[in-house]
Amino acid sequence: MPVLQRWFTPLLMLGILLNATGLFSDILGTDGTLYADVAKHMITHNDWVNLFAYGADWLDKPHFPFWVTALSFKIFGLTSFGYKLPGFLFWLVGLRYTYLLAKQLYNKPIAKLSVLVYLIALHAVIGNFDVRAEPFLTTLTIGAIYNMYCMLQGNNWRHLVLAALFCACAVMTKGVFILITISAGFVLFWVIKKDWKQFINPKWWILLLLTFVFMLPELWCLYQQFDTHPEKVVFNTTHVSGIKFFFWDSQFGRFFNTGPIKGSGDLSFFLHTTLWAYLPWSLLLYVSVFAGVFKKRATWQPHMWVVYGSALVTFIIFSVSKFQLPYYITILFPHFSIMVAAYLSSVQAPATEKRLKAVQAFILLIAMVFAIGLSIFAALPNMVAVIVCVLALGCWVLFSKSGTFIENILKTSYGYAAILYLFMNVVFYPTILQYQSSVQAARLVNSKFANYTVGMTVNNSGFEFYTKPAVARMFNADSIPQYARLHPLVVYTDETGLKNITQQPLQVQVLQRFQDFHISMLTGDFINTKTRSQATHNMFLIKVTPQAN
């Protein structure tokens, strides 16, 4: 594809830049700030074994992302950038492994196109702004699959060790279920090809054994924190085994809805979630799957089972699971991107090309309307400049001279990405993040009250992470007079907490009132400036001193 020789590097740089625009913004609560606070506890207490959240032992997630994040904090400090950078770097490595796997399965042009597709998939970009475990897990998954595919081609011990390391780190990121995603495509391929000898091939059993060996640090930490302390209260009960939770309750318990963390599943959830989460490529993905299903069986190659099989089995498991969240699907984005790239490279019929170009142009128009409409609806700063820029860029992309089919698809898709992601990361979220009051209150404490005792009457990981002094949990208002007698005191609280504190024999000064909203769960009432005050609730930073005699 000549277009890739000319445009691959510029589009690669553009895609990386668009993803990097979220690196310096505040961490989005509540999950992001919670994970940041867990890693902060590691380095402030020099404790890399025990996981703590909200002042208590925490068993919900394995250790690997927190180890990596804590290491980043050691280097870059306790900052938003220090928290987000590891996920971003892992995502970059994931681009590389997507390229390497697609090159092995197909060829270099399809590999390059796969990377360009993956670069601007919506929820992957969101994952670099609202960092959770998925950037780590996605890269570890595709890295393991690539190295296993190389093992399938020959007996290379380097690939065996790397595959085991990727598998182990993936398990130490999300749990043992990820091994199904990694291995499902290979198992399906062996069954379909009746290559039964692979199931007794020693290298796969060595891989499994080595994966377990590399997992031992996680198991040791869980054993030390929970299994040796049956008296600890976890999930409102005692005698909780961390190792049992890791191998069963955290994964199979969620799947069967029998564990301590429950949900409610919907068979169609990921079908409609993928429609928006994988924009601008989601419709092309569904078309590529439809086209692949109706291919003649003779045209199917082994690589189709490695990629399609892994994606299919994982998608089914996610769909029948009782615990579903939108960002789960991002671990399949490298798979999806290879599938879309392979399909686009195979399109030859002019009528099909015309329809697909129209689809991508329509998605670009949606992004333009969304950015302009949201700018007006939310009355964003520099609204007129934003609208002019969106219209200028969108019209240039839509009406500039068309090139080849692939060039046109990339032009409209990257036009969508430039409009939407710059708007969201540079304009929209920086504006509304001021309503994440925990961060604003923490900055006020750090700038003016760093020598005070700091407390909070609400469990808020954002305030705890961003506040430089240690934060005391003051959930019982009766204990606050004792704190106030010992040292000057500032407290982050809500309206209920403020009322309870003012009933104590204390002098209370409201330093600042904040409008607060859960930014990760946006509503129309909040976005609309006319109704925003009704959607927010008040939070306060107060100064508390003993009552004068």
Question: pLDDT of 65-87, one tens digit each?
Answer: 999 999 999 999 999 999 999 99
Hey, what are 535's tokens? 């959607």
Whether residues 418 and 339 fall in one domain: no
Pairwise pLDDT comparison (158 vs 290), residue with the higher score: 158
- C-alpha 17/C-alpha 35 separation (Å) is 25
pLDDT tens-digit map of 265-314: 678 888 899 999 999 999 999 999 888 776 655 556 766 788 999 999 99
- Quick check: 149 pLDDT over 90? yes
Whether residues 182 and 127 fall in one domain: yes
- Quick check: 94 pLDDT over 70? yes
Helix and strand tally (H, E) in the chain? 27, 7
Whether residues 124 and 252 fall in one domain: yes
Mean pLDDT for the stretch of residues 479-497: 90
pLDDT at residue 264 in the model:
62
Q: Picking from 194-198, 254-258, 290-294, 458-462, which range would have the lowest pLDDT averaged per residue?
A: 254-258
Whether residues 243 and 361 fall in one domain: no
- The 10 Å Cβ neighbour count of residue 323 is 18
- Quick check: 427 pLDDT over 80? yes
pLDDT at residue 193 in the model:
85
CA 35-40-46 angle, to 5 degrees, is 130
- C-alpha 369/C-alpha 478 separation (Å) is 53
With beta carbons less than 8 A apart as the criterion, state whether 106 and 51 touch: no
- C-alpha 226/C-alpha 444 separation (Å) is 37
What is the Cβ-side half-sphere exposure of residue 76, based on CA atoms within 13 angstroms? 15
Which of 416, 432, 448 is a domain's end point?
Answer: 432
Whether residues 402 and 487 fall in one domain: no
Number of domains making up the chain = 3
- C-alpha 124/C-alpha 94 separation (Å) is 11
Whether residues 173 and 284 fall in one domain: yes
Hey, what are 117's tokens? 């597709």
Which of 346, 363, 387 is a domain's end point?
Answer: 346
pLDDT at residue 496 in the model:
93
- C-alpha 122/C-alpha 135 separation (Å) is 13
Strand order in the sheet with 506-516: 471-473, 453-456, 489-494, 537-546, 506-516
Mean pLDDT for the stretch of residues 499-504: 91
With beta carbons less than 8 A apart as the criterion, state whether 242 and 59 touch: yes
pLDDT at residue 305 in the model:
84
Hey, what are 481's tokens? 């007079």
- Quick check: 141 pLDDT over 90? yes
Residue type, 392: A
Which of 432, 452, 470 is a domain's end point?
Answer: 432
Closest CA to 183 of 134, 145, 142: 145
- C-alpha 453/C-alpha 211 separation (Å) is 46
Whether residues 460 and 420 fall in one domain: no
Whether residues 451 and 428 fall in one domain: no
- Quick check: 132 pLDDT over 60? yes
Segments forming the whole domain that contains residue 242: 2-346
Average pLDDT, the chain: 91
Alpha-carbon dihedral angle through residues 302, 304, 307, 313, given to the nearest 10 degrees: -100
Whether residues 273 and 163 fall in one domain: yes
Q: What letter does residue 259 receive in the DSSP assignment?
A: S
pLDDT-based confidence at residue 253 (cuts at 50, 70, 90): low
Whether residues 96 and 162 fall in one domain: yes
- Give SS3 for 490: strand
Whether residues 44 and 142 fall in one domain: yes
- Quick check: 155 pLDDT over 90? no
- Give SS3 for 120: coil
- The 10 Å Cβ neighbour count of residue 222 is 24
pLDDT tens-digit map of 215-233: 999 999 999 999 999 888 8
CA 236-258-518 angle, to 5 degrees, is 65
pLDDT at residue 296 in the model:
52
- Quick check: 151 pLDDT over 90? yes
- Give SS3 for 454: strand
Whether residues 243 and 117 fall in one domain: yes
